[in-house]
Structure 1
Amino acid sequence: MDVVGGFQGLDRDAVSFYAEVRAANTKTWWTANKARYNSAVREPFEALGAELEPEFGAVKIFRPYRDVRFSADKTPYKLHIGMVTQTTVKHYLQLSEDGLMLGGGMYELPPAALARFREAVDDPRRAEDLDELLAELGSAGFELLRDDVLKTAPRGYRADHPRLPLLQLKRLAVGRREPPADWMWTPDAYDVIADHWRTVSTWCDWLTETLAAELLDAAQPSGRGRSDPM
C-alpha cells in the first residue's frame, strides 16, 4: 500500500461523518459526501495501514457498502471503516462515531481448530497458561468478544466445567474500545495503535501455536468474501 505524504493522524471529521451516516443512510447523502469520505475517512486510514504494514503485514481496508442480501436492515452504508491484516490470525481496527475498536484473533475458524481450542481449555496445564495470558490482556484493556456464544456447554463437556465461558466461545477474538480522543488526530495515533496491536499479537501468537496444523484449513482460500470480522 503506497500512500503519499505519510500518516499525519486520523481526521476528527470522521466521527462527525459517521454520526451523519447513521442519521441519513441513503445513496443521495452518500453521493453528496463521497469526496468527504475519501479525504476524512479512507485516505487517513490508508496512510495508517501503510505505516502498520512493515511490522504487522499487508492490510485490507473494507469497502463502505453493507451486504444487505440477507439482512432485514437495508441501509446501504456501514457506520464504520474497518482494517484487517491479511493473515490467518488477524489484527483488526475499526473507526466509527464512537471512536476506535482494536482487536484481533480469529472470527471464523474451522471446526477442527475450535475443537483443538476446547481441548486446550480442558487441559489444566495449558489452561493455566491461557488464564495468565487472558489476565495480561485484561490488564491492557482487552476482553474476549462474546457475541454468538453457545448457550450451554459444547457436546462432550460438563455444564459445570470450571472454564465454561471459554468453552462456549465460537469466535476467538479479543477487543478493546477507545472513545474519541485528541491523540487520534495526530501522528501519535500510530504509536498508540501499534502498541495495542502488539498486545493483540500475544493472543494471535498463542492461537497460532496452540491451533498449529488446524489453522492450515483456515489458510486455504474458500472462494467466499466477508465483511468486517468484528
Structure 2
Amino acid sequence: MGEVWDNITSTQPGASGTVVIVTGIVALLLIAWRPVWRQTRQVVTIAHEGAHGLIALLVGRQLAGIRLHSDTSGVTVSRGKPDGVGMIAVLLVGYPGPALFGIAAAFVLKQGYAVALLWGLLAALLLLLLQIRNLFGLWSVLAFGAIVFGVSWWGSEQVQSGFAHLLTWFLLLAAPRAVLELQRSRRHGGGRSSDADQLRRLTGVPAILWVGFFGILTLACLALGVAWSGILPS
C-alpha cells in the first residue's frame, strides 16, 4: 500500500508521442466502429449522468438517484426547484460532461499524474455507485470500475499511462459524437425529453441552439486536449 500511495502522489514520465498517437487511434476506433460503440458508449453515459449528479449537488439540489439503461440512456433524479439557474445548470452540463471530464484528465496527464488520475477515477466511481438505483446501472459501474482497478493495481507504469491516455482520448472524442446522435434523434422525431429540449422549455432558447452549444464546447475541449497532448508541431 505504501508503494501504491507513492505512485499516486508522485509524477510519472510523460508518455511518448507514439503512445499518445496510438491510444488516440484506438479510442477513435472504439467510437467509430458501431458494434463496439454500442458497448463503449456506456462509459459516456456514466460520465453524462455523473456530471448531472455532480452539478445537482453543487447547486444545492438533493440527489435522489441515477439510473443507467442497457440502451445507453440514463436518468439522474434530483429534488429541488423545477426551474431557475440551478436546474438550468444541471441540464446544461450533461452532454458536455464527458468532454469536460476528458479535458480535466488531459490536464492531470499533462502534469505527469497518470496513476493519480486512475485512482481518482476509482474514487469517483465509488461515489457514483452509491447513487445508482437499478441493477444494470450497478453492473455497468462495477464492470468499468473493475477494469480501472485492474489496470491501477496490477498494470505496469507504462500500462497505466497508456490506459489513462486511452480513456482521456475516448472521453474527448466520444463527446462530440454523442451530441451528433442527439441531433440525429431529434431530427427523426425522438429526443423530445432531451436536455436540449428541457432547456428550451426552461429558457425559451431554441433547442437547436443548445445542441450547437454542446457541440462547440465538446469540440473546444477536444481541440485543447489535442494541443496539450504534444502531438502537434510547436
Say whether the fold is shared (TM-score over 0.5). no
Larger radius of gyration: 1
Larger strand percent: 1
Task: State the TM-score, normalized to the length of structure 2.
Answer: 0.28
